[in-house]
């Protein structure tokens, strides 16, 4: 592909050299540069890609796209200075892969919690409508039924557009993807053509990265600010920032709600352990999901289906057949008749919601034992809050490890316990080994009790000092249950 054809829509400051040459590839990682390729230098979080320009050139790259002032003296090299190399990387990636998002009906889901659930259920629903569909999610990526390993919630722009192009090649008509705040902030989604955007909610998380809630909110809002007028923007009217998200969008605005008037409105009729009876826009249905938060997710799915032109009644029929996503409120029953629930709640709000959902169906019959930890090298301020919420809504809490990464596991647990007073500590155990923590919870549980094992959900590893050791909460539970 010709270099100049890749530069459409990019804010160029200066070009030095030939822009009329054939490119063999594009990279943002110097280590992957090949003969004749273009290297885009990104200002990273850890390091600055501009440092590696010569490494890329040594491997044969012929073009450098940069944002900072750099040495442009190497012979035969084209240097393109741009205003924003992250934005350029996104846009160049879309063009390199043939602008796949323009050939798909692409819908992005953003928010602190519920992205994986909503995007995955949309993928499943649209397949049930009979379409070929793609999905990019935390748990896994899918192209019309074929699974691909996911490393991020939202991949880097090159991997992202490569996946979208594969979806186009496979004949997919729709694609649903999670849009993380990191991805918006790092412009991994620049150049993508969305047909719709969904906002789930915003509560505390990722303050290690965004520093303040205001910055976190700004990142999420940017996704909606950049939607085109041809797209729809569907927001949660019950979230206090739901309307804020759509303040400056050009997209057509729609709302969903359980509490107020909205385009898509739900009423909860009855809650039980294997599902919820609800009314969506005055039509009754039974869904196989527990928790009010899941009613919101399902409502967003329903609204999206309708906004994409599907028949509302058929959408409701399919909704009632959908099943929970891997590692989200996954229920396992012990031979002694207590229940273990594995859930991906890793934020204060998610933990509160999932515990409230458990209480709503338990109705005071049976105790709640919660096993929970917090990730290392992530938002430290959520640790004491999560511990307090766990204690407030449980009869017994075991604080344990969840991906300590490069931190000391005991130090993370101590940060959590710092949120508890001596009274609260009385119902709290600290057990560093997660397997031991789960075993202890099972020893303590009696018939009718519920053990919530929170934070890891679908994850099948424990990330310790950069090494992912195999660990799966569900597997541990099944072993204890003798399955």
Ligand X SMILES: Nc1ncnc2c1ncn2[C@@H]1O[C@H](COP(=O)(O)OP(=O)(O)OP(=O)(O)O)[C@@H](O)[C@H]1O
Ligand Y SMILES: CC(=O)N[C@H]1[C@@H](OP(=O)(O)OP(=O)(O)OC[C@H]2O[C@@H](n3ccc(=O)[nH]c3=O)[C@H](O)[C@@H]2O)O[C@H](CO)[C@@H](O)[C@@H]1O[C@H](C)C(=O)N[C@@H](C)C(=O)N[C@H](CCC(=O)O)C(=O)O
Ligand Z SMILES: N[C@H](CCC[C@H](N)C(=O)O)C(=O)O
3-state secondary structure of 75: coil
252, β-bridge pairs: 232
φ/ψ region of 381 (left if φ > 0, alpha if ψ in -120 to 50, else beta) reads: alpha
Alpha carbons within 13 angstroms on the beta-carbon side of residue 88 total: 28
CA distance 157 to 136: 12
- The verdict on whether residue 9 carries a ligand-binding annotation is no
153 is in an annotated binding site: yes
Binding to ligand Z (CB under 6 A): which residues in 336-375? 346, 375
**Distance, CA of 53 to CA of 285 (rounded, Å):** 58
Q: How far is CA 112 from the centre of its chain?
A: 8
Binding segment toward ligand Z, per CB under 6 A, in 83-91, 218-226, 453-461, 466-474: 453-461
Identity of the residue, 241 or 334, whose beta carbon is nearer to ligand Y in the bound complex: 241
The span from the CA of 419 to the CA of 184, in Å, is 32
Each residue 171-210 as x (binds Mg ion by CB under 5 A) or -, in order, gives -------x--------------------------------
- Asked whether position 402 contacts ligand X by CB under 6 A, the answer is no
Candidate segments 291-299, 323-331, 387-395, 451-459, binder of ligand Z by CB under 6 A: 451-459
The reply on whether position 269 binds ligand Y by CB under 6 A is: no
C-alpha separations of 174 from 106, 234, 358, 444 in Å: 6, 17, 34, 47
- Binding to ligand Y by residue 180, rule CB under 6 A? yes
Q: Rounded to the nearest 5 degrees, what angle is found at the Cα of 368, between the Cα atoms of 395 and 286?
A: 145
Is the distance from CB of 154 to CB of 188 less than 8 angstroms? yes
78 CA to centre of own chain: 37
Among 3, 23, 175, 183, binds ligand Y (CB under 6 A): 183
Q: Least Å distance between CB 444 and Mg ion?
A: 31
Q: What is the nearest approach in angstroms of ligand Y to the Cβ of residue 220?
A: 10
Among 37, 116, 181, 276, binds Mg ion (CB under 5 A): 116
Q: Cα separation of 167 and 30, whole Å?
A: 27
Does residue 31 have a known ligand-binding role? no
Site string for ligand X, 112-151 (x = CB under 6 A): -xxxxx--------------------x-------------
The answer to whether 195 and 213 are in contact (CB under 8 A) is no
Burial class, 223, CB count within 10 angstroms (exposed 0-12 / middle 13-18 / buried 19+): buried
The site that binds ligand Y (CB under 6 A) totals a number of residues, namely 19
Q: Which of ligand X, Mg ion, ligand Y, none is residue 166 near (CB under 5 to 8 Å by kind)?
A: none
Where do we find the tokens 């316990």? 417
Per CB under 6 A, 156 contacts ligand Y: yes
Distance CA 1, CA 445 (A): 63
Stretch that binds ligand Y, among 10-18, 147-155, 281-289, 298-306 (CB under 6 A): 147-155
- Binding-site size for ligand Z (CB under 6 A) equals 9
Tell me if 409 contacts ligand Z by CB under 6 A.
no
For residue 174, the Cα-to-chain-centroid distance in whole angstroms is: 19
Binding site as annotated, residues for ATP: 111-117
Q: Which spans of this chain sit near ligand X (rule: CB under 6 A)?
A: 111, 113-117, 138, 153, 178, 200-201, 293, 296-297, 328, 343-345, 349-350, 353-354, 457
Residue ranges that bind ligand Z, judged by CB under 6 A: 153, 346, 375, 378, 402-403, 455-456, 459
Residues forming the annotated binding site for meso-2,6-diaminopimelate?
A: 378, 402-405, 455, 459
Q: Binding site: which residues?
A: 30, 111-117, 153-154, 180, 186, 188, 378, 402-405, 455, 459
């Amino acid at each position: 592909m010709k270099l100049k054809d890749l530069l459409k829509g990019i804010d160029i400051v200066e070009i030095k050299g030939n822009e009329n040459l054939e490119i063999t590839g594009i990279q943002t990682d110097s280590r992957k540069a090949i003969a004749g390729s273009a290297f885009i230098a990104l200002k990273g979080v850890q390091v600055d890609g501009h440092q590696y320009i010569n490494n890329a050139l040594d491997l044969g790259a012929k073009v450098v796209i940069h944002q900072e002032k750099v040495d442009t003296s190497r012979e035969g090299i084209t240097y393109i200075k741009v205003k924003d190399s992250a934005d350029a990387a996104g846009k160049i990636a879309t063009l390199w892969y043939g602008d796949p998002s323009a050939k798909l009906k692409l819908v992005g889901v953003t928010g602190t919690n519920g992205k994986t659930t909503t995007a995955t259920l949309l993928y499943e629903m649209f397949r049930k409508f009979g379409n070929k569909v793609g999905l990019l999610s935390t748990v896994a990526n899918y192209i019309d039924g074929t699974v691909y390993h996911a490393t991020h919630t939202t991949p880097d722009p090159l991997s992202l557009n490569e996946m979208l192009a594969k979806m186009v090649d496979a004949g997919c008509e729709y694609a649903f993807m999670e849009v993380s705040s990191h991805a918006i902030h790092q412009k991994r989604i620049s150049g993508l053509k969305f047909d719709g955007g969904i906002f789930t909610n915003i509560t505390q998380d990722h303050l290690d990265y965004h520093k303040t809630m205001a910055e976190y909110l700004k990142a999420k809002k940017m996704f909606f600010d950049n939607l085109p007028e041809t797209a729809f923007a569907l927001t949660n009217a019950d979230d206090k920032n739901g309307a804020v998200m759509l303040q400056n969008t050009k997209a057509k605005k729609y709302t969903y709600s359980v509490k107020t008037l909205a385009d898509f409105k739900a009423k909860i009729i009855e809650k039980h352990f294997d599902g919820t009876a609800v009314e969506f826009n005055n039509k009754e249905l039974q869904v196989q999901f527990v928790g009010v938060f899941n009613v919101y997710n399902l409502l967003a799915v329903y609204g999206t289906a309708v906004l994409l032109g599907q028949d509302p009644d058929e959408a409701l029929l399919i909704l009632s057949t959908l099943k929970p996503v891997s590692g989200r409120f996954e229920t396992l029953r012990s031979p002694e008749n207590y229940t273990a629930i594995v859930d991906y709640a890793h934020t204060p709000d998610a933990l509160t919601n999932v515990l409230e959902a458990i209480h709503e169906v338990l109705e005071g019959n049976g105790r709640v034992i919660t096993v929970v930890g917090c990730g290392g090298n992530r938002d430290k301020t959520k640790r004491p809050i999560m511990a307090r919420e766990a204690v407030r809504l449980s009869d017994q809490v075991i604080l344990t490890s969840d991906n300590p990464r490069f931190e000391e596991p005991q130090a993370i647990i101590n940060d959590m316990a710092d949120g508890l007073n001596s009274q609260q500590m009385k119902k709290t155990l600290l057990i560093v080994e997660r397997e031991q923590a789960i075993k202890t919870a099972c020893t303590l549980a009696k018939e009718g009790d519920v053990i919530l094992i929170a934070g890891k959900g679908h994850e099948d590893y424990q990330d310790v000092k950069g090494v992912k050791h195999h660990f799966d909460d569900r597997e541990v539970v099944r072993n204890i249950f003798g399955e």
